[in-house]
Structure formats: C-alpha cells, structure tokens
Amino acid sequence: MGINNRELSKAAFERACKVIPGGVNSPVRALKSVGTTPLFVKDAKGAYFNDIDGNKFIDFCMSWGVFILGHNNSEVSNAAIKAVLNGSSYGIPCEAETLLAEKVREAFPSMERLRFVNSGTEATMSAIRVARGYTGRDILVKFEGNYHGHADHLLVSAGSGVANISNASSAGVPSDFVKHTAVLPYNDTEALKKYFDENGDKVAALIIEPVACNMGVVPPSEEFLKLTREVTQKHGAILIFDEVITGFRLAYGGAQQRFDIKPDMTTVGKIVGGGYPAAAFGGRADIMKCLAPEGPVYQAGTLSGNPVAMAAGLATLNILSNKKVYENLEKRSDNFIERLSKIIAGKGIQLNRCGTMFTLFFNENPVRNFQDTKRSNQEKFAKYFRNMLSRGIYVSPSQFEGNFISVCHTDDVLEKVLKAIEESI
C-alpha cells in the first residue's frame, strides 16, 4: 500500500483541465491547497480505494463523510442495482420516497414533514426559503465558518472549500443577495444574545451546523448551542439545524439527538442517500405546510426522490437503525482518539473531535471558532497531507474539513493509520 507512481492520474488531470474548469467538478478535489494534484479513483470498497495507477489507499475522507458503512457496501449496492433495473428516474411518485421519508422521520422526530432533494445545497436553500415564507421576515442569521452550500445568500464568511478564498466568499454574488444575511462568530454567546436583543423580531431563521464540520470539526459549547434554541423561540424565528454532515453520523438521530435539542427545521444529506445524490429538508408540520402544492413557497426538482437514491438510502438506514452500529463505532473511535492524542502531545497540534469525526489543526492554541481555524499553519498541514498520501492514507485535503471513521475502519486499519500519522508528523 502506498504510492508507486501517479503518472496516469497526472495525465488524467491534464486531460480533464481541457474540458472541466480546474480539472475538477468540486474545487477541493484539485488538491491545490495542499500542493499536489488529484488522484483519479478506479474503484473503492470498504475503507479503501484504488487509483488508476494501481495505488491503494486507506480513505479517511469517505466522500466527505458519506460512507459511514464504508465504500460499496454490498446491501446498499444491491438495493441500488435492483432499483435501477426498474428505471433510474420517473418524475412521478414512487413508494420508495414515502418509505425513506418514514425512516428519516423515525430517526428525526422533529422532521414531522419532509421533502427530498438532490444535494445539501438544495436542502438548506429550500429550508431557508420556507422559513422566510412562514415568518414573513427576511433576515437570516448564520455563523462564521459554517458552510451551508453554495447558494448566493449563504456564501458569506463560509467554511469548507470557500474558506481558502479571500474573505471566505465568492465572486459573482451581488451585494444585494447577501444584505439580509447576518453573520455572527461561532461559539460566541454574548454576540448571539446581543444580536437577537437588538434584531430578533426581524429574523426569519437562524441556521447552524450544530457541530461545525466545514472549518474543521469544531464542537459547540453547551451554553452556545442551547442559546440558539432559546433566542429563536423567544423571538419567533425558525431554528434550522444543518445536519447534512452530522445527520446519521453523530447518532442515528444526528446532533439533535446527541445534544437533546429540538430544532424547528432540519436538513440532512450525505448518508441519507447511501452514497447517491440525495438530501432532505423538513420540520414542524405547520411550517412545511407553506410548501407548494399545499402553500405559496415554491420548490421543485425533476430528480428529487429518484428511486435509485431512495433504495440506497433505505438500505443504509435499515442497517444504521441497529443501535449496536453506533455503540461499536463510538467505542472504536474513542480508542483511536485516545492513542492519537498521545502521538500529537507536545507537538503544537490541536485535536478536535466529536463522535466519529475529527480534525488535526496545526495550531498552538485551542480551536473554537473560524478565526482560530484560520490561524492554523496551512503549510504544515499541506506537508502532513502529502506525507500521509505517500504512506497510502488519504485524509481530507483541507484543515477546514473533517476526517471520518466508518464501520470498515477496523482496529487493524486504524493501527496502520496511527503509525502513518506518527511517521508523518
């Protein structure tokens, strides 16, 4: 395991650059910020993937957290194959949509009604539109370093790949599109109290990653997360938990189950489609009644609820509904993190973790918000990434992202990862 050569991947990247902007269909994949060029994957199974050059890697990115069951789980793949043989899309309702919706609601009781879309961006964009339609207000509150997709009004002090862009925003977004988006520092209770004391009755919604995953993994303080619920209830604003990453990962019922906080609306993605393009947004029944065709808020999608993604998602959630899956994952993650903490002790590295997600920040000081994250040493991280890659370990290629442990990361696999981290650091 490890890199023998990368000539075919380099050639594939050069070819891609001639027809695809930057050679990739999502910016972080280019590996530009870590000083190298992308791998091109041939196939993947369990905790591993193989590139087109014949190199084998342990994957700690897992398609940005999607594959909690590992790549190409046989039950999930077989469900998708069976579904696609009956047709890949209908544009007409099928029973699989209802079955998966019922399964999601079982896990997330706060989602009394929900609708499927194709991506996390669609889910958050739609949830915000519904919240504004329900309240009749315009202002959206978000937090620095939280990434909620690439809709125009959300690209303000955002995390994830956009965090590497100056001012953490994007060209092509008119100032009028973001004038109703208020951005507050994450984990800052005083700033949150002050803003709602002064503007709370004008706020349509507050959207938050209940555990920040797009500025690296940054858990909330207990006081801060509880306050998001308190101030929104007090002022009649809608609390939206963006659980596109944390949903079905931190627990079967996501971060809201783990922290025992019930939001008004929730977005889920990644895991809910079992590796296929799917996400969902939902919430209280009275709020969701605003959505067409019942109400005046419009949202649509030809491929939304497509039968292949629904079948894969249903197979995935059927497996995850067994509590032992999470108990075993948590136990294995605890052991891994305990040993990793000893490896990095005294080396100027911060380890942030929540459940099966973690990030190593090359930073002398604790990381509690976006500003702390940005003070981390990106050059050291880039060297660390390349060192790990040379040892056959693919970690998420940004200090602004998390790493993810799956059920396929056995003790033997994690032993190899720990050895590689120790050598690389």
Which residues is 241 bridged to in the sheet? 208, 266
CA dist., res. 57 & res. 49, Å (int): 5
Helix (H) or strand (E) holding 366: none
Mapped onto helix, strand or coil, the DSSP state of residue 373 is: helix
Contact 141, 182 (CB under 8 A): yes
227 φ, ψ to 5°?
-65, -35
Contacts of 419 (CB under 8 A, 6+ apart): none
Alpha carbons within 13 A on the beta-carbon side of 355 = 29
Going from the C-alpha of 334 to that of each of 14, 95, 220, 410, 412, the distances in angstroms are 41, 39, 19, 13, 15
Which residues is 41 bridged to in the sheet? 51
Kindly give the pairing relationship between strand 350-354 and strand 279-283. Answer: unpaired
Check 242, 252, 276, 394 and give the catalytic one.
242
Check 51, 186, 195, 270 and give the catalytic one.
270
Which residues is 39 bridged to in the sheet? none
CB atoms within 10 A of CB 361: 26
- Would you call the peptide bond into 293 cis, given omega within 30 degrees of 0 as the criterion? yes
Residue 290 burial (CB < 10 Å; 0-12/13-18/19+)? middle
Check 147, 186, 195, 384 and give the catalytic one.
147
Residue 270 bears catalytic tag: yes
Q: What is the largest CA-CA distance in the chain?
A: 60
Residue 18 burial (CB < 10 Å; 0-12/13-18/19+)? exposed
For helices 323-344 and 411-424, what crossing angle results, to 10°? 20
CA dist., res. 195 & res. 201, Å (int): 10
Which residues does the annotation mark as catalytic? 147, 242, 270
